[in-house]
């Protein structure tokens, strides 16, 4: 999510004389991409999109997609994530995924491995419906979870389940670079069948003497290790971990136990992690709890509509009808859950637009005012 520097006026005037400026003046007020997308959605002037070129389902619950991005794509660094957007039953849905491919991939394509979570709307949709030719929305890569530009002397990669993707990208990137420091790839899965990239991991280990792949299974005995993460696993997989930088991505219990152990041995500053941000399960029991924040202004949730609460906090957000019909008070809810008092619908997604005058907070809510 890049922030464009504000254009200075003379530059803007110059741009208008350019061929693109002329085309935009002709396309006003809709923008050139709004016309081009009707011919071919991959033909864009400004918007970044991607076309699915390959789909394969490697494990019982994952799907691996190859994406060909439009020319606006600026590449990524191993470990970073992108936001992918699809329309499901008419509604646009956006989720974050970490590319699993090497950042040096020569054809410039992006590989994503998506695990179909039982409650995951987007992941289930992609698992069931993704096919070559599907065009999706794409964001530029973002995130600070990435290999340092100056590669560390030793690297320990720890992952669990679908958290494999950013560290897989790191491993592939290091291999592509001819990195010669020790690398251990410690991955947790239920069983052998649940390991995405299993064959490739074994092949990478065979081809690079400095790469050690350790697969730990929590529900089977045929792995390199058995059970959940602990100091024995760490000692056996990477006895040199104190000299390494560790990169961690996986489900919350794995993250917690790795963090706790690293803290106890004083290595927290060498541990880098990426947390899956899962929307918290919201229980709307009608009780009024939590804090509402409007930018810097915070107040206890009073149970009133967000418009009333903002006004009670001394703010004067733009509004009109106060009955949900005019959409003047629509604002972006950056986090938390709100209930539409007209329809009873719960809005749980971050960065969702809501109407302040007919929305009440359910627990903590942050509004971008």
Partner 1 sequence: MTNSSITLSNDQIDELGRELDAIKLRVINDLGAEDRDYIYKIIKAQRALEVTGRGAFYLGFLPPFWLLGTAALSLSKILDNMEIGHNVMHGQYDWMRDPALNSKRFEWDTACPADQWRHSHNYMHHTFTNIIDKDRDIGYGILRMDETQRWNPYYLGNPVWAFLLMTFFQYGVALHDLETENIISGKRKMSENKELWHGIWRKIGKQTLKDYVLFPALTGPLFLSTLAGNATANLVRNLWAYSIIFCGHFPSGVATFTEEETENESRGQWYIRQMMGSANITGGTLFHILSGNLSHQIEHHLFPDIPARRYPQVAPEVKALCEKYGLPYNTGRFSKQIGSTWAKIFRLALPFSSLNKSDKPPAVTVVPEKVPAAA
Interface ranges with partner 1 (CB under 8 A): 22, 25-26, 28-30, 34-35, 38, 87, 89-93, 320-321, 323-328, 330, 342-343, 345, 352-353
Q: At 250, which helix (H) or strand (E)? A: strand 245-250
Q: Which residue do the tokens 């947790």 mark?
A: 188
CA-to-CA distance for 347 and 358, rounded, in angstroms? Answer: 12
Minimum CB distance to partner 1, residue 334 (Å): 15
Quick one: 209 or 343, whose CB is closer to partner 1?
A: 343
Q: Tell me whether residue 288 or residue 346 sits nearer to partner 1 (CB atom).
A: 346
Count other C-beta atoms under 10 Å from residue 181's C-beta.
Answer: 15
Pick 35 or 276: Cβ nearer partner 1? 35
**Is 110 or 358 the residue whose CB approaches partner 1 more closely?**
358
Q: Is residue 298 within 8 Å of 310, Cβ to Cβ?
A: no
Contact assessment for residue 81 and residue 162, using Cβ atoms and an 8 Å cutoff: no
Q: How far apart are CA 283 and CA 289, in angstroms?
A: 12
Q: Residue 312 or residue 323: which is nearer to partner 1 going by CB?
A: 323
Q: Which residue lies nearer to partner 1 by CB, 29 or 286?
A: 29
Q: How far is the CB of 55 from partner 1 (least distance, A)?
A: 21
Nearer to partner 1, 256 or 326 (CB): 326
Task: Round to whole Å and give the CA distance between 255 and 307.
Answer: 39
CB of residue 35 to partner 1, shortest distance in Å = 6
We find the least distance from the C-beta atom of residue 254 to partner 1, in angstroms, to be 32
* Per-residue buried b or exposed e for 136-168, using 16+ beta carbons within 10 Å of the residue's own CB: bbbbbbeeebbbeeebbebbbbbbbbbbbbbbb
Work out how close the CB of 321 gets to partner 1 at its nearest, in angstroms, rounded to a whole number.
4
Written as six digits, the tokens of 239 are: 């006895």
Residue 197's region, left for phi above 0, alpha for psi from -120 to 50, else beta, is: left
DSSP 151-180: --SSEEEEEEGGGHHHHHHHHHHHHHTT--
3-state DSSP call for residue 196?
Answer: coil
Distance of closest approach, residue 277 Cβ to partner 1, in angstroms: 18
- Given the complex with partner 1, which of 2 and 343 has the nearer CB atom? 343
- Least distance (Å) from partner 1 to the CB of residue 318? 9
4 vs 149 by CB, closer to partner 1: 4
Helices then strands, counting H and E runs in the chain, come out as 9, 18
Angstrom distance (rounded) from CA 237 to CA 178:
22
In the three-class reduction of DSSP (H, G, I as helix; E, B as strand; rest coil), residue 97 is classed as strand
Q: How far is the CB of 88 from partner 1 (least distance, A)?
A: 8
Judge contact between 62 and 113, C-beta under 8 A: yes
The least distance separating partner 1 from the CB of residue 228, rounded to whole angstroms, comes to 39
């Amino acid at each position: 999510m890049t922030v464009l520097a504000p254009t200075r006026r003379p530059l803007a005037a110059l741009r208008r004389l350019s061929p693109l400026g002329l085309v935009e003046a002709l396309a006003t007020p809709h923008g050139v991409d709004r016309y081009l997308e009707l011919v071919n959605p991959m033909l864009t002037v400004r918007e970044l999109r991607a076309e699915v070129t390959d789909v394969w389902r490697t494990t019982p619950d994952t799907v691996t997609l190859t994406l060909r991005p439009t020319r606006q794509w600026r590449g990524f660094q191993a470990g970073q994530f992108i936001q992918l957007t699809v329309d499901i039953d008419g509604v646009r849905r956006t989720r974050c995924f970490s590319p699993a491919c090497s950042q040096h991939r020569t054809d410039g394509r992006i590989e994503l491995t998506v695990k179909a979570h039982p409650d995951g709307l987007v992941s289930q949709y992609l698992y069931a419906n993704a096919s070559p030719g599907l065009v999706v929305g794409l964001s530029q890569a973002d995130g600070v979870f990435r290999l340092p530009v100056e590669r560390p002397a030793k690297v320990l990669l720890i992952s669990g389940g679908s958290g494999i993707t950013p560290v897989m990208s790191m491993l592939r990137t290091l291999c592509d670079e001819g990195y010669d420091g020790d690398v251990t790839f410690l991955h947790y899965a239920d069983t052998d069948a649940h390991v995405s990239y299993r064959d490739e991991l074994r092949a990478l280990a065979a081809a690079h003497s400095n790469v050690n792949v350790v697969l730990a299974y929590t529900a089977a005995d045929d792995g390199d290790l058995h059970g959940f993460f602990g100091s024995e696993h760490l000692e056996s997989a990477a006895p040199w971990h104190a000299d390494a930088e560790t990169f961690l991505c996986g489900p919350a219990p794995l993250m917690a136990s790795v963090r706790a152990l690293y803290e106890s041995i004083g290595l927290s500053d060498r541990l880098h992690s990426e947390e899956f941000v899962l929307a918290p399960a919201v229980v709307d029991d009608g009780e009024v709890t939590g804090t509402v924040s409007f930018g810097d202004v915070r107040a206890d949730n009073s149970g009133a509509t967000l418009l009333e609460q903002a006004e009670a906090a001394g703010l004067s957000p733009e509004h009109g009808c106060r009955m949900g019909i005019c959409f003047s008070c629509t604002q972006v809810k950056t986090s938390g859950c709100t209930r539409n008092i007209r329809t009873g619908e719960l809005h749980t997604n971050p960065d969702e637009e809501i109407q302040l005058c007919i929305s009440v907070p359910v627990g903590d809510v942050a509004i971008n005012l």
